[in-house]
Structure 1
Amino acid sequence: MDFTTLIDNPEWLLMLLAPLFIGLMLAEYWIGQKRGRLPENSAYKLREVACNFTLAGMHQLADLITGLLIVQLYLWLFGWHLFDIEMTVSTFLLLLVLQDFCYYWFHRASHRIRWMWAAHVAHHSSERMNFSTAFRQSLMYPFAGMWLFWVPLVIVGFEPKWVVFAVLLNLGLQFFVHTQWVRSLGWLELIFNTPSHHRVHHGRNPQYIDKNYAGVLIVWDKLFATFEPEIETVRYGISKPIKSNNPFVVTFKEWQTMFNEVRRKGLSFKQRLSILFSPPHD
């Protein structure tokens, strides 16, 4: 497959990267876990890995189905783009940086707005951290509004197919930060999101909650005061554990809890909105 075909069909990117992802998971298991080089909370457990893979499949299917509608919306919005941007190496790099900036705000919103957290909590619900955790995604992201955060890129003048490719490339690169195998990457820690930074993000230690939202560049967290270094040993998971490897429970538990609260009798309209859009309990 040539690069032009890939750009025209960006949804194939993660599938092409899948053999690399699987290879790294096998290496982490055999070299790290089987030889006792990794902590217990990085261990691959069959039921959880099966849950993670099922969640990934559900997520991909939801993206493919809703993506058809979202791309049509992007194409419609592209009709009002502000600038005619020719895609060159420099403008592609600019797109990657701008998309990463937008990802930071999507990710931050996913922790600070309960409606969005209801989708994102699936990713944080595991009390383990290994490469398979990256597959732990939710089919509810399109419903929660993830796609809204890339709209500015389309309106500015980046073609929708390039925007979608940049989004998927960013998500693909984030696979590599879901591990306890790599302790530190030296000077790269100053600029990029690394396993150390992302372990903090998955922590439920009080000082680690709602920190390190970065996708690829950690500079956004440093710029907007959400950075926290990894010092204390990370305790993974959420403050109210789901305690299930059923992918449907993992996906819909918080949605069910949230809507049950909204339906309580005696609440005003403002109170119901507050339940949906205030910061989450976890």
Structure 2
Amino acid sequence: METYGKILLMAMPVFLVLVLFEKWYGWRKGNDTVQTMDMISSLTSGITNVTKDVLGLSIAIISYQWLVNKVALVHIESIVWVYIIAFIALDFMGYWAHRLNHVYNIFWNNHLVHHSSEEFNLACALRQSISEIVKLFVIFLLPAALLGIPAKVIAIVAPIQLFAQFWYHTRHIGKMGWLEKVIVTPSHHRVHHAINKEYLDKNFAQIFIVWDKWFGTYQEELANVPPVYGITRPVRTWNPVKINFQHIWLLVQDAWRARYWKDKLRIWFMPTGWRPADVAEKYPVFKIEDPYHFEKYNPPASAWLKAWSWFQLSAILFFISYFFASIAAINQLNNAAIYLYGLFIFLSVYALTELMDRNPMAVFWELLKNSFGIYLFISQGDWFGIGRQWPFTTYIILVYLGVSTFITGWLAFKNKQEDRLRVQLAV
């Protein structure tokens, strides 16, 4: 937990700088592919995901170490070749886990958030799931387990393999010659994120594109078919917490409403998007039929709202940076301290993105977040020990918690006035 937090503390600034550089580069070239509110939504999604991971809020039904203990035929020492084999094994597992996430209703919820952006840029690479509580796909590491590759090797290689998937989420790099035959490139991954019928459910590989070519899921990016990004049942929100549970909530509702028990049970394991006929007729859900003619989600955002969203994002990044840097010390305060801190981060993201969605309830969530923050402060006499390192920071945090609610309330009121005026002008 502490080690992973330290890794993330070093990785986060790198990702943020690259995301901002892509926006600057696109602006400079007259091809800005990074929409501000979409980017903030992506960044907050990444924040919720890494917070969940650091808190250890997931369960592996089968651990890799258990698999090694039960099936290993040989045991290879930790030499260079072991790390290479582990990297390939992880990529093989990643291909099949990724493919299953796209194929079955119940697993799509774990992956939908990554495809939820209607843009394609480095920021959307950070949209990762918080809804994957139970990890099922360790079984695909069976080849590595048979070779007895140590669990510590997998633990080292896994973050490297994950971070190596970041760079190809961009529209600014074209086709890359002979590399297209070996590794996943931006061109390959643009296909994967597209909702054009030519591109749906193609190119599942994470590092080596050969898996798609071997298992029949490869599709080249076509010059006459520009990719259109997103998902066919658009999420229509910037809130990453809502996005993470939209699909599973629809499945629960459909299972409840279905007339036949057969449909109530099989809906979970049917192909992604399948709904019982009686439910689909009575409770239709909007689906994009023509990817070239639909309105992207982009609610109005004033300069004030954008500026405040940037400020709130910066505040969240400050809080999470301190969390990752001090997780061992925070954990020593009491058994629940890190989870209380994690809850504050989630409330912060929820309140901010509700305001970005122009939802009047954003005021409630902001008030709840700040009240909870003040409670944490009073109950500890400090903000998780930060006063011992930087005494004046405690006063800054208290002022922030006090002022934030009023500014959010003012912006929510301003949003409501703008929306009312917009309706009047439309009439």
- Mapped to 2, the partners of 1:261 and 1:123 lie a distance apart of 23
**Does structure 2 retain, via aligned residues, the 8 Å contact 1:126–1:133?**
yes
Query: Does the 8 Å CA contact 2:192/2:202 hold for their aligned counterparts?
Result: yes
Match of 1:198 among 189, 193, 214: 189
Indicate how the Cα distance of structure 1 residues 160 and 222 shifts in structure 2: closer, same or farther if over 3 A, else same.
same
Aligned pairs for 1:1-282 (under 5 A) are 9=3, 12-32=6-26, 34-38=27-31, 42-45=33-36, 47-66=37-56, 70=60, 73-82=63-72, 83-143=74-134, 145-150=136-141, 153-154=144-145, 156-231=147-222, 232-268=225-261, 270-281=262-273
> Which stretch shifts more, 173-182 or 271-280?
271-280
What do residues 62-118 of structure 1 show as CA deviations (whole Å, max 9, x unaligned)? 223337854994334443241212121112111111111111000100100111101
How far apart in 2 are the matches of 1:124 and 1:227?
18
Deviates more, 1:84-93 or 1:48-57: 48-57
Q: CA deviation at 1:155?
A: 5.7
How far off is 1:272 after superposition?
2.8
Alpha-carbon distance in 2 for matches of 1:184, 1:114: 33
Q: Is the 8 A contact 1:114 1:277 kept in 2?
A: yes
56-65 vs 69-78, greater mean Cα deviation: 69-78
One-letter identity of the residue aligned with 1:208: Y
Q: Calculate percent identity across the aligned residue pairs.
A: 31
Partners of 1:280 and 1:141 lie apart in 2 by: 16
The whole-number CA distance in structure 2 between the counterparts of 1:52 and 1:193 is 22
Larger RCO (alpha carbons 8 Å, 6+ apart) = 1
Asked whether the equivalents of residues 89 and 143 of structure 2 are also in contact (C-alpha less than 8 Å), the reply is no
Corresponding position of 1:3:
none
Provide closer, same or farther for how the CA distance between residues 92 and 10 of structure 1 changes in structure 2, counting only shifts above 3 A: farther
User: What is the letter of the counterpart of residue 169 of structure 2?
Assistant: H
SS of 2:172's equivalent in the other structure is coil
Deviates more, 1:270-279 or 1:70-79: 70-79
Q: How big is the shift at 1:14?
A: 4.6
**One-letter amino acid of the counterpart of residue 192, structure 1:** I
Which region of structure 1 is more displaced relative to structure 2, 251-260 or 164-173?
A: 164-173
> 1:5 — aligned with what?
none
Root-mean-square deviation (CA), in Å?
2.4
Does the 8 Å contact 1:110/1:117 carry over to 2? yes
- Does the CA contact (< 8 Å) of 2:64 and 2:138 recur in 1? no
Q: For 2:53 and 2:250, how far apart are their aligned partners in 1? A: 24
Q: How far did residue 192 of structure 1 move?
A: 0.4
| Cα contact 1:129–1:178 (8 A) shared by 2 | yes
Quote how far apart the aligned CAs of 1:218 are.
Answer: 0.4
Given the two structures, how large is their TM-score scaled by the length of structure 2? Answer: 0.59
Q: Is the 8 A contact 1:29 1:43 kept in 2?
A: yes
Change (3 A) 1:150 1:272: farther
1:53 Cα shift? 1.7
Change (3 A) 1:274 1:144: farther
Q: d(CA) in 2 for partners of 1:132 and 1:155?
A: 37
Aligned length: 270
TM-score (ref. length: structure 1): 0.87
- Cα drift, residue 161 of structure 1: 2.5
1:253 aligned partner, one-letter code? Q
Measured against aligned partners, the alpha-carbon deviations of 1:204-242 in whole angstroms (never above 9, x if no partner) come to 000100000010000100111111111111000111111
Instruction: Give the secondary structure class of the aligned counterpart of 1:175.
Output: coil
Separation (CA, whole Å) in 1 of partners of 2:142 and 2:55: 19
- 8 Å contact from structure 2 (residues 116, 234) kept in 1: yes
Question: Within 1, Cα distance between the matches of 2:76 and 2:5?
Answer: 22
Unmatched 5+ stretches in structure 1: 1-7
